[in-house]
Amino acid sequence: MNMPLEPLGQDDSARFPLDEAVKAALVRARSAGRAFRDLGIEQRHKLLQKAARYLLEQRKEALAVVESELGKVRGDALFSEVLGPLDAVNAWAKVVARATPKKASLNPLAFPKKSARTELIPRGVVGVIAPWNFPMAGLYRSVFPALLLGNAVIVKPSEFSTESSRWFIEALAKMLPPHVLQGVYGGGQVGAALLESGIDACVFTGSSAVGARVEARAFELGIPCSAEMGGNDGAIVLADADLNRTTAGLVHWALENAGQACGAVEVVYADGRIATELAAKLADACGRLRPALVPGGPGSLARLAHPKQLDIVLRQLADAVAKGATVLSGGKSSGLYLEPTVLSDCNDEMEIVREETFGPVLPIVSVDGPADAIRRINAGRYGLTASIWSTDIERAERLATELDVGVVTINNHAFTGAIPELPWSGRRASGRGIAGSAWSLLTFARPKAIAIDRSGGPDPYWVPFDQDLIELGDLLADAQLGRLGRAIRIPILLSRRVETIKRFFGMK
Q: Where are the domains of the chain?
A: 32-229+438-448, 233-416, 457-505
Q: Specify the pLDDT at position 402.
A: 96
Long-range contacts of 388-394 (CB under 8 A, 24+ apart): 388/235, 388/236, 388/238, 389/235, 389/236, 389/237, 389/238, 389/241, 389/242, 389/246, 389/249, 389/250, 390/238, 390/240, 390/241, 391/240, 391/241, 391/242, 392/238, 392/240
Q: What average pLDDT does the structure give for the chain? A: 90
Active site residue ranges: 228, 262
When computed from its CA atoms, the radius of gyration of the chain, rounded to whole angstroms, is 28
pLDDT in tens, 94-141: 999 988 877 889 888 788 899 999 989 999 999 999 998 899 999 999
16 pLDDT above the threshold of 60: no
Q: How far apart are the first and last CA of the chain?
A: 67
Higher-pLDDT residue of 49, 100: 49
- Which pLDDT band holds residue 18 (cuts at 50, 70, 90)? low
Q: Does domain 233-416 have CATH number 3.40.309.10?
A: yes
Maximum average pLDDT range among 99-113, 286-300, 486-500: 486-500
pTM for the full model?
A: 0.88
Q: Which of 286, 238, 261, 262 lies closest to 411 in space, CA to CA? A: 238
- Which pLDDT band holds residue 10 (cuts at 50, 70, 90)? very low
Average pLDDT over residues 149-163: 95
Q: Specify the pLDDT at position 14.
A: 40
Phi first, then psi, for residue 459 (nearest 5°) are: -75, 145
327 pLDDT above the threshold of 90: yes
Q: Specify the pLDDT at position 397.
A: 96
Helix (H, G, I), strand (E, B) or coil at 188: helix
157 pLDDT above the threshold of 90: yes
pLDDT in tens, 57-94: 999 999 999 999 988 888 888 999 999 999 999 999 99
- Which pLDDT band holds residue 9 (cuts at 50, 70, 90)? very low
Q: Specify the pLDDT at position 196.
A: 92
Average pLDDT over residues 498-507: 93
Average pLDDT over residues 415-426: 87
Average pLDDT over residues 435-454: 92
Higher-pLDDT residue of 20, 323: 323
420 pLDDT above the threshold of 70: yes
CA distances in angstroms from 382 to 113, 374, 422, 429, 433, listed in the order given: 52, 13, 20, 5, 13
Average pLDDT over residues 187-196: 92
Give the separation between CA 258 and CA 340, rounded to whole angstroms.
8
What superfamily would CATH give domain 32-229+438-448?
Aldehyde Dehydrogenase; Chain A, domain 1 (3.40.605.10)
306 pLDDT above the threshold of 90: no
- 10 Å Cβ neighbour count for 296? 14
